[in-house]
Amino acid sequence: MITLIAEYILPEKFFYDAQTIVFDIYNEAGFKGSYPLTMSFYKYTLLGKLPFNVVGIIQLCFYYFILYKIGIPKDFHVFTLKNLVMYLAFLMIAIFIAMPSKEFITFLYISQIVFVIRSRQIGLDVALLYSFFLLIVFGVFFRSYFALIPFISIFLYLISKIKYTNRTLGILVTSILIIVLFSVTHSIINGSYFSDLARNSVNEIREGSADANSMIIPPLANTNSFAELVNTFYSFFSVNFPIVELKHFLSPRILMFIIWQILFTVIFVVRFSWAINKREYKVLWIFYFLFSYLAIQSVFEPDLGSAIRHKIGMLPLIYYVFYYDSFSRKV
């Protein structure tokens, strides 16, 4: 129902991307870059010719079919905090995928990783090599930061092999430090930090706009590596544990984003600590991919809304780590 009526009830800003993708005013459609590739997808599949709500219904069918093939949790009908996070995620799917969307491309592509890694016919080494290949190719042709995920996740795996008191906290901090290291290296070579390329450049244009009231504004001017380090830690928690955004509690939409994000982060971290203690090797790699993605968001995401929307594209991985030990049906 939400998908059918979204075009009539949601603010116009929700459709800016969809309109850019479908109308392609500057003839940008191509096969490299998130916008050009998405434009080509909707152009050649003819989905771009359909009303947005029809596109949304078609896309929802793909979403739910893929999640069904991953598995159905035994207790999905029971009201728990974990299920609440997923119920809200489904609501956000209905909102963000009720139109042509780059996240639909991400969802379809990234879902392969779950099926490959959990396959009983494919060894973990081969599954990881294929997953690395998928992510690097996606980085080259779609969003460049996806190519960083394999490298960060390998570092996280190596760190996890060291025995120390709180490996969960160690993994979290290490993921942030690694993305800062990559950012500083990029600055030395190319003269700009990752956050300057993405978050800061976008927010400078939108500053003061009513459409950007959940912008992430780091505390320090990004003039040196120490500032990039501090800003990245600040942004990581602004994106993944956004208590600071509670100042927008009068906005129901932002409040829902905040609640969802805080619950997601808490449950994600707890489930990772269980998995690493139980040595669930296959699922741990999907956790490493997600930790890497969360760290990457801390330098690339301009605002909380964008961060949530982009996580919807990663939902196959999130869904799997939430329920891998409680599926009532298998692939």
Residue 198, pLDDT above cutoff 90 = no
pLDDT reported for residue 331: 42
For the whole model, what pTM was predicted? 0.94
Q: Cβ(186)–Cβ(243) under 8 Å? A: no
pLDDT reported for residue 263: 95
**What is d(CA 138, CA 145) in angstroms, rounded to the nearest whole number?**
9
First to last CA, the chain: 29
Cα-Cα-Cα-Cα dihedral sign, residues 80, 81, 87, 90: negative
pLDDT tens-place string over residues 98-116: 899 999 999 999 999 999 9
pLDDT reported for residue 92: 87
pLDDT reported for residue 200: 80
- What is the CA angle 129-153-119, rounded to 5? 45
Weakest mean pLDDT among 132-146, 261-275, 301-315 = 301-315
Structure-token match 């969003």, residue found: 143
Q: Cβ(171)–Cβ(159) under 8 Å? A: yes
Residue 329, pLDDT above cutoff 60 = no
Residue 144, pLDDT above cutoff 60 = yes
pLDDT reported for residue 249: 65
**What is d(CA 155, CA 180) in angstroms, rounded to the nearest whole number?**
13
Residues 69-85, mean pLDDT to the nearest whole number: 94
Q: Please state, rounded to an integer, the average pLDDT across all residues of the chain.
A: 90
